[in-house]
Amino acid sequence: MIATHRHCSLADMLALNRSPLLREKGRLLAMLLALSIGVLLIAELWQAPLTEALLAEAGRGVIFVLLALGLMGTKRLSVILTALLCASTLPNLLAVNSIFRISLWLELLTLILCMGLLLAPTQSHAGEEPT
């Protein structure tokens, strides 16, 4: 019985490893953005009079912080939930009389990044379940 070995060049190994590394860096960036959005939304409690709308925004901030914890993992659910939460603010961003808030623009950036992560192809190695 003859054993066959498949030789991989360094370029082949780098090409295989680049995509998961890029996806991991994207998730890390999404996690940092979600954490920043959450902190900004919660910090607005100290800058304006307390209203129901402000409390709702702070509650969204808490959800962003929790989703940032989920983005530290490898499952796609936290990416999907983060994209959905960011997509819920698109009408506010597109409104004519909307005020400029950095958290809205960070949510748009996070939405674009999460959509890119969701649309990127996933590769699974032998014996691993796809994420």
Can you give the pTM of this predicted structure?
Answer: 0.74
Between these two residues, 89 and 111, which has the higher pLDDT value?
A: 111
Give me the residue spans of the domains in the chain: 30-119
94 touches 104 (CB < 8 A): no
Q: CA-CA distances (angstroms) from residue 76 to 38, 46, 96, 129? A: 20, 34, 34, 13
- Alpha-carbon distance of 31 to 25, in angstroms, equals 10
Q: CA-CA distances (angstroms) from residue 73 to 47, 58, 63, 77, 84? A: 33, 24, 16, 10, 18
Statement: residue 13 has pLDDT above 50:
no
Between these two residues, 1 and 43, which has the higher pLDDT value?
A: 43
